[in-house]
């Protein structure tokens, strides 16, 4: 089984420096495109590979790039941004790539920037990733020194500057237009679309924002071709995927596997199954903002289409497992506390609705909730649903709630009937 993204990453060992990276074939993809591929050729190769955005949306990466206006002269300023603001609860995949092989990201970014003819690139990094910041700083410096960044890259006349920007620690900054506002020094609030960032993004210029894992795939696609990339996968989506499992399993962790492995394989083989005495009750397949799946979905393929067909989203592919000793109401309350706290306050439904949802869940947990409260929660899943807010934060927050109400309704009802949380051990 090929693991292009992580085969040279060994947790516990320091990240690959420039020399190590070059010894594993690093920067050969950059040399290849500079020796005779046009930006359009690179876009086409990535589009053909069926690489879909690994930040959660799953949009075809090459197609996203194709929306950037191109002209012969290289035209106005354009920007390429790596979204490394990994702030979603349960999500810990990009960190592995950043801390293990930072040059892989840098090379992917240079190729992506060349593909859209951008001359300035930023890595927008989660503030808490101090180790990643340190090795990215060093690696960017090495890449400049080696002539892979800066003026006249590899003697081709192509120029690219790269900057590391650490965020101030808001989940909101992972939303691409809020990220652009934060980079401009404004409050991290989402923008109305259209215009889309591909046409008018950072400082009003054409901009592409891609996730770290997405960008790390690019050098491998260029080196080995689109067909090879597609062949790595068990599904129509190209490539491997970094999957994660957290919760009461025997071996929580992250693994690079073919896109489309089943949830059962991930939980039972890689994560070593449930800890003794615990049964699986629910799974959030792709981070905190995805809908619960249950035991009946274990044989589902973890790719974009299959998970969507089951009524959830693959998201980041980092699943949170909820066991039968954990109260679903308390579990969802904990998530809603996070989302309410992270709302930027720009639009009313999200700003007012999320704290209300949090209060309703808390009253159920304390045993003071009523049947009407459950109905109100149900209504909120509509009021804060897709199309009613500026960005996807509130609709994302509703996914675990609406699916908990669907699958674990009797747990909600018991809180009302018994006037307490039926899961006896102490919940916060």
User: Under a CB-based contact definition with an 8 Å cutoff, are residues 8 and 219 in contact?
Assistant: no
Are residues 385 and 316 part of one domain? no
Asked whether residue 142 is domain-assigned, the answer is yes
Asked whether residue 2 is domain-assigned, the answer is no
In CATH, what number is assigned to the domain containing residue 401? Answer: 1.20.1440.230
* CA–CA–CA angle 324, 326, 330 (5° rounding): 140
Asked whether residue 171 is domain-assigned, the answer is yes
- For 302-318, what is the HEC assignment? CCHHHHHHCCCCCCCCE
Are residues 287 and 244 part of one domain? yes
How much is the pLDDT for 225?
A: 97
Are residues 399 and 308 part of one domain? no
Q: What is the mean pLDDT of each run of 10 residues along the chain (428 residues)?
A: 96 94 98 97 98 95 96 81 96 96 98 97 97 97 98 96 96 95 96 94 97 98 98 96 98 98 98 97 97 98 97 97 98 98 96 98 97 98 96 97 98 98 70
User: What b/e string do you get for 136-154 counting C-beta neighbours within 10 Å, with b at 16 or more?
Assistant: beebbebbeeeebbeeebb
Order of strands, edge to edge, in the sheet holding 318-323? 253-258, 240-247, 318-323, 280-284
Q: What gap in Å lies between CA 400 and CA 380, rounded to an integer? A: 12
Are residues 153 and 48 part of one domain? yes
71: containing domain: 18-231
pLDDT per residue as tens digits for the range 130-168: 999 999 999 999 999 999 999 999 999 999 999 999 999
Q: What gap in Å lies between CA 417 and CA 188, rounded to an integer? A: 42
Q: Where are the beta strands (DSSP E) in 85-203?
A: 120-125, 161-166
Are residues 31 and 159 part of one domain? yes
Which residue, of 303, 323, 343, is where some domain finishes?
323
User: Under a CB-based contact definition with an 8 Å cutoff, are residues 122 and 215 in contact?
Assistant: no
User: What b/e string do you get for 236-260 counting C-beta neighbours within 10 Å, with b at 16 or more?
Assistant: ebbbbbbbbbbbbbeebebbbbbbb
Asked whether residue 106 is domain-assigned, the answer is yes
Asked whether residue 163 is domain-assigned, the answer is yes
How much is the pLDDT for 325?
A: 97
Are residues 283 and 307 part of one domain? yes
In CATH, what number is assigned to the domain containing residue 282? Answer: 3.10.20.600
Asked whether residue 1 is domain-assigned, the answer is no
Q: Where are the beta strands (DSSP E) in 57-142?
A: 79-84, 120-125
How much is the pTM? Answer: 0.96
- Quote the number of domains for the chain: 3
Are residues 363 and 214 part of one domain? no
Asked whether residue 10 is domain-assigned, the answer is no
Are residues 302 and 280 part of one domain? yes
Are residues 61 and 207 part of one domain? yes
Are residues 168 and 75 part of one domain? yes
Which residue, of 323, 346, 374, is where some domain finishes?
323
User: Under a CB-based contact definition with an 8 Å cutoff, are residues 67 and 43 in contact?
Assistant: no
Are residues 204 and 174 part of one domain? yes
Are residues 138 and 25 part of one domain? yes
Q: Length of the chain, please?
A: 428
Asked whether residue 428 is domain-assigned, the answer is no
Which residue, of 209, 231, 253, is where some domain finishes?
231
In CATH, what number is assigned to the domain containing residue 61? Answer: 3.40.50.11540
């Amino acid at each position: 089984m090929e693991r292009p993204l992580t085969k040279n990453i060994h947790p516990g060992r320091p990240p690959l420096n420039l020399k190590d990276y070059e010894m594993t074939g690093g920067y050969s993809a950059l040399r290849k495109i500079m020796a005779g591929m046009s930006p359009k050729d690179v876009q086409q190769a990535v589009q053909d590979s069926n690489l879909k955005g690994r930040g959660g949306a799953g949009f075809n990466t090459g197609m996203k790039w194709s929306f950037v206006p191109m002209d012969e002269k290289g035209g106005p300023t354009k920007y390429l941004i790596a979204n490394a603001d990994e702030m979603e609860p349960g999500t810990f995949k990009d960190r592995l790539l950043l801390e293990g092989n930072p040059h892989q990201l840098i090379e992917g970014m240079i190729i992506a920037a060349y593909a859209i003819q951008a001359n300035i690139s930023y890595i927008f990094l989660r503030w808490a990733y101090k180790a990643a910041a340190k090795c990215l700083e060093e690696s960017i410096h090495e890449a400049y020194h080696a002539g892979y960044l800066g003026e006249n890259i590899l003697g081709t006349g192509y120029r690219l500057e790269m900057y590391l920007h650490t965020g101030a620690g808001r989940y909101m900054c992972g939303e691409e237009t809020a990220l652009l506002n934060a980079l401009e020094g404004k409050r991290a609030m989402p923008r109305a679309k259209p215009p889309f960032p591909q046409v008018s993004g950072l400082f009003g210029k054409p901009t592409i924002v891609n996730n770290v894992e997405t960008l790390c795939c690019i050098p491998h696609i260029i080196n080995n071709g689109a067909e090879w990339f597609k062949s790595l996968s068990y599904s129509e989506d190209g490539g491997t995927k970094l999957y994660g499992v957290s919760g009461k399993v025997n071996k929580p962790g992250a693994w690079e596997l073919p896109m489309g492995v089943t949830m059962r394989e991930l939980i039972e083989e890689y994560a070593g199954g449930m800890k003794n005495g615990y049964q699986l009750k629910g799974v959030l397949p792709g981070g905190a903002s995805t809908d619960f799946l249950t035991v009946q979905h274990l044989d589902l393929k973890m790719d974009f289409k299959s998970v969507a067909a089951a009524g959830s989203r693959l998201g980041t592919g980092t699943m949170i497992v909820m066991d039968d000793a954990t109260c679903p109401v308390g579990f969802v309350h904990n998530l809603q506390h996070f989302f309410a706290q992270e709302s930027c306050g720009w639009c009313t439904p999200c700003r007012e609705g999320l704290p209300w949802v949090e209060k309703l869940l808390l009253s159920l947990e304390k045993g003071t909730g009523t049947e009407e409260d459950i109905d109100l929660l149900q209504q909120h899943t509509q009021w804060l649903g897709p199309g009613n807010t500026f960005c996807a934060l509130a609709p994302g927050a509703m996914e675990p709630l609406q699916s908990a109400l669907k699958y674990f309704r009797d747990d909600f009802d018991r809180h009302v009937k018994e006037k307490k949380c039926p899961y006896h051990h102490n919940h916060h």
